[in-house]
Structure 1
Amino acid sequence: MSELTGAPDRGALPPRALIITVLGLYVREAGGWISVSALIRLMAATGVDEQAVRSALTRLKKRGIVEAERRGGAAGYALSAYARQVLEVGDRRIFARPGSDDRDWVVVVFSVPESERAKRHALRSRLSWLGFGTVANGVWIAPAHIADDTREVLVQDGLEPYVDLFRAEYLAFGEPAAKVARWWDLTTLQDLYAAFEAEYAPVLRRWVATGAADSTDARAEAFGDYVRALTAWRRLPFLDPGLPADLLPSPWSGTAAAETFFALRDRLEARAHDYVTEGQAPAAARRG
């Protein structure tokens, strides 16, 4: 699951992470399939060459994210059913502004037999992916607004027999902000948001300065910048449980990072989409 939502903390974005972003943004709306040649064209605008695209597709196929499929005589790849499900859950987190005023919590209490270690690892991985913090062994917590996603993911992965799910209110003892700082690694999350802001605030300023130029080159640039920004962003909402502002360190770098991401989205999304459709990149999906 982290393959579909994760992105590196620092440095260059790997080709397969950029490809997953393109699959989630554009291939689903075109029927869930794209030709290899069309994907190579699109990925060139993000700085990924043909060999890297083909290598990344092979790895994504091995992980069950895409399936090789020919349509209309063209070689291509279709999203797996598993990938579609995870991407749908991801949309609700990635494109929602972080933060909530909800004072209730969802608490997961689980116990997995030693003979089923793989299930225990999978459960911890899923809870981390959903943004849960750790209270104690087998007791994890998150703001109540992610309860529905939690239920859906646990059932989808067959992990619900090991879990009890509670809705709770913190009564005592101690300061909630101090408890939250123990349950989540907010320092690392603060650093990740700051790194995103440092990388993409200059990109936003460049687009604000250049205005709304409308040409194929401008649309290709918009596509590349938007895909890179979204790839860097999409991991952060899963690390961030969406805590109330008064429980977070002040100042909180996530606020500026979110403003930058959504401003870039507003400025680039339509032009990026136009770049995809003007080349009829996913059109083969409709010919099959």
Structure 2
Amino acid sequence: MTSGEEGSERSGRREGRATSAQRADDRARPRGRGEEGSERSGRREGRATSAQRADDRARPRGAAALPPRQLITSLYGLYARDEHDWLSVASLVRLMAELDVDAAAVRSSVSRLKKRSMLQSVRRDGRAGYALSEQTVELLREGDVRIFERPRATADDGWLVVVFSVPESERAKRHSLRTLLGRLGFGSVAPGVWIAPGPLYDEALHALERMDLSAYTEFFRGDYLGVGAATGRVREWWDLDTVDALYREFIALYASARDAPDADPGDAFRTYVPLLTRWRRLPYLDPGLPLAYLPDDWSGIRAGELFAELDKRMRPAADRHAHALLRE
């Protein structure tokens, strides 16, 4: 997504140009949420008082700073698979409205996801909707392991080395291969030579085969026998400082939620979906290196514990709210 596209989506969200369907949804929602409704109205109209703005800064950031496309991906990963990998247009709009994203931004983001072959238009029981593609279902299934189980290698697992060579006439595939290896958590040792903890082999091979890139690669597994300890070299192969900074940012954003009182299902949903959306990219940037190769103050450990605690605490209530919206 280009910066212009993201700006357009965010602008659509800020301006709050609800369609007739959205206004009907708003009228259909239960009343009696006075303070919450007033706060939302104030946010949409830009009339927040100084006290409100200070309160907003003290809370974990919600969905406002996230591209709608990322939120939609999270929602499909959380709830579409219980609905045969499909959500109706009306259901998706209702779920996204809870995150202060209007219908126009939803449809624009879905269009981009369709162009990337992540979603496809499917009608069921006379209702328009979008289904996950087979490839996306597979990606989400693989992602569940990284996102929720956070596997970490040990020093005894050894190293997995990928060597690739792509003809100059197929430069686009070379770029795709580098991008994929980086997304899987591989570090770059030298041009055409990438490294990862040993346990990543099955996931990496499967991903390369799915993208028709395995023919350009060779895999090796073994030990590091270079000069000096591997602990010093991993900082050359991976940008650990950047990953650690992202973990610290996540902790700063959500640490206060650990001590907050239990939220009602609606508030839990509005906190949990952005929480998951921000978290799910981090396990891909972090290759799961053995603790022996990481700094003693590595923030990934604390961030993982924080996410696991908030996931266990918030997800059940968030799920109840989402399923209630899906039944409307």
Q: Same fold (TM over 0.5)?
A: yes
Radius of gyration: which is bigger?
2
Q: Counterpart in 2 of 1:187?
A: 241
Residue 134 (1) aligns with residue 188 (2): yes
Residue type at the aligned position of 1:61: K
Deviations 1:235-261 (A, max 9, x none): 110010001112112311111111111
Contact 2:159 2:196 in 1 (8 A): yes
Residue 151 (1) aligns with residue 197 (2): no
- How far apart are 1:203 and its partner, in Å? 2.4
Consecutive unaligned residues in structure 1, runs of 5 or more: 1-10, 284-288
Change (3 A) 1:98 1:202: farther
Contact 1:133 1:184 in 2 (8 A): yes
- How far apart are 1:99 and its partner, in Å? 2.9
Residue 168 (1) aligns with residue 214 (2): no
* Whole-Å separation in 2 of the counterparts to 1:227 and 1:234: 11
Alignment: residue pair count: 264
The secondary structure found in structure 1 opposite 2:87 is: strand
- How far apart are 1:45 and its partner, in Å? 2.0
Q: Counterpart in 2 of 1:275?
A: 321
Q: Counterpart in 1 of 2:265?
A: 219
Consecutive unaligned residues in structure 2, runs of 5 or more: 1-63
- How far apart are 1:98 and its partner, in Å? 5.0
Q: Counterpart in 1 of 2:138?
A: 85
Q: Counterpart in 1 of 2:291?
A: 245
Q: Counterpart in 2 of 1:32?
A: 85
Q: CA RMSD in A?
A: 1.5
The secondary structure found in structure 2 opposite 1:112 is: coil
Residue type at the aligned position of 2:146: R
Residue type at the aligned position of 2:122: E
The secondary structure found in structure 2 opposite 1:109 is: strand
The two structures have a TM-score, normalised by structure 1, of 0.88
* Whole-Å separation in 2 of the counterparts to 1:263 and 1:116: 46
Residue type at the aligned position of 1:134: S
Work out the percentage of aligned pairs sharing the same amino acid.
48
The correspondence for 2:281, drawn from 235, 254, 265, is 235
* Whole-Å separation in 2 of the counterparts to 1:174 and 1:96: 32
Residue 95 (1) aligns with residue 148 (2): yes
Q: Counterpart in 2 of 1:16?
A: 69
Contact 2:153 2:198 in 1 (8 A): no
* Whole-Å separation in 2 of the counterparts to 1:224 and 1:105: 40
Instruction: Give matches, 1:40-55, under 5 Å.
Output: 40-55=93-108
* Whole-Å separation in 2 of the counterparts to 1:205 and 1:65: 37
* Whole-Å separation in 1 of the counterparts to 2:267 and 2:153: 34
- How far apart are 1:113 and its partner, in Å? 0.5
Of stretches 114-123 and 72-81 in structure 1, the one that deviates more from structure 2 is: 72-81
Contact 1:220 1:275 in 2 (8 A): yes
Residue type at the aligned position of 1:34: L
- How far apart are 1:41 and its partner, in Å? 1.1
Residue 56 (1) aligns with residue 102 (2): no
* Whole-Å separation in 1 of the counterparts to 2:99 and 2:259: 19
Contact 1:102 1:145 in 2 (8 A): no
The two structures have a TM-score, normalised by structure 2, of 0.77
The secondary structure found in structure 2 opposite 1:145 is: helix
Residue type at the aligned position of 2:167: P
* Whole-Å separation in 2 of the counterparts to 1:158 and 1:58: 25
